[in-house]
Structure formats: C-alpha cells, structure tokens
A and B are shown apart, each in its own frame.
Chain A
Amino acid sequence: AQKVTQAQTEISVVEKEDVTLDCVYETRDTTYYLFWYKQPPSGELVFLIRRNSFDEQNEISGRYSWNFQKSTSSFNFTITASQVVDSAVYFCALSEIQGGKLIFGQGTELSVKP
C-alpha cells in the first residue's frame, strides 16, 4: 500500500534559520513520482518540485533544496535562511502513475517568526 508520512506536524523557527521538513514514503512500485506542495494561509496549493523514482539527483532552487534517498524512502525538503513568507503548510505527495492520484502526507505547518 502507498503511504506518505510527514512526522512533523508543526515547526516553528525564527527568520534566517534553516529548516528541514521530513517526508518518508511507502510504495511497492519501482516507478513512482514524489512531489512537494506549499499551501500558504490564502489556501491555494502551489507545486514546488517533482522527483521521478529513477532520478535520485538532489536539487537546489534558490533557498530551497530537496534530498531524495531511495535507500531510506525519504524525500526531505530544506529551506535555507527561512523568511516569514515561507510560513505555510507543506505537503509531500506520492503518485504511482503518470498524472495519477496523489497520496498526500498530513502536512507540516511551518511558522517562521520575525
């Protein structure tokens, strides 16, 4: 069965701190896709990144970086030098089919205080 676990329900940091959001997934498929989405207080779901199971290369985009490790079934997300605008709920998600159903984790609520 597929499952995504985000063990951190809430994280609170002070601006400029680095923060890592953990994501652990379960799947029996050898081909799958992992995603991170951001849900700011305004409520929309914003796509951040996708990783294919066959591509373990880590990625950096500005202050954001993602670490994908198949050996530990983890896809962690790090924000460097956090800012107040990073305050949001972050969701990790898994899909076993191209464009198919997303299995979401429960989300991590990040609060960045000035």
Chain B
Amino acid sequence: EAQVTQNPRYLITVTGKKLTVTCSQNMNHEYMSWYRQDPGLGLRQIYYSMNVEVTDKGDVPEGYKVSRKEKRNFPLILESPSPNQTSLYFCASSGTGTGSVEQYFGPGTRLTVT
C-alpha cells in the first residue's frame, strides 16, 4: 500500500529534550516536506526537500532541523524543543512530474512540549 508513515503519532516531552520525528514514504517520491498545523494559524511549511541531500527552509524553520540521506526518509529534528513547538506535525511527499504533483500526507504527529 502506497503511504507516508510518521512516528511517533503522539509525543509528550519536556523543554530542551532533543527529539526526532521520523517520516518515511514508499512511493519513490522526490519531494518531501514538513508542515505544522496550529489553531488560528493553519498549516505552514517548516522544511522541504526536492531530493536526496537537497533541503531548504519553508516558512517557519526556526527551531527545527531536517536531513535527507535516503530518498524514502525525511526526519524532523527538534534539538531543544520549546512549548511554542507544541503542534500537530505532518510529513508529506509527492512526485515532481506533471501528472503526480499532489502531496500525500502522513497521519500526523501530535507533539506536546511542557
């Protein structure tokens, strides 16, 4: 089954404790990205990657890191989480051909930082 997976689905952590949210896709997609969803602010892009070893900042990159060592994986790293990073996080992937530009989203990771 074609899908984007994220882990963990739910996470409660404390300020300053480094964490990684994993994202993996099995559709051989070149493009992957991370979004966060917050009430009143909607969905905003954090980072994206056009292909392996190519990453770039989205609209709200502060406090986050990413890496793209393999095509299928795109982990999101919070080196020192803070309460304002409490949010619902989505990973997404898509192809880059004209017929395959829709982004497919993972199930989401609900993060709470206390």
Residues of A within 8 A of B (CB): 33, 35, 37, 43-47, 50, 52, 91, 95, 98-102, 104-107
- Complex CA–CA separation, A58 to B88 (angstroms): 33
Pick from B63-71, B72-80, B95-103 the stretch touching chain A: B95-103
- Complex CA–CA separation, A20 to B76 (angstroms): 37
A-B contacts counted at CB < 8 A amount to 58
- Complex CA–CA separation, A102 to B34 (angstroms): 11
Instruction: Determine whether the beta carbon of B101 is less than 8 Å from that of A99.
Output: yes
Q: Which chain A positions have C-beta within 8 A of B92?
A: 45, 102
Report the minimal beta-carbon distance from A32 to chain B, rounded to whole angstroms.
Answer: 10
Known: A45-B90, A98-B96. A91 touches B43 (CB 8 A): yes
Contact of B42 among A45, A101, A107 (CB under 8 A): A107
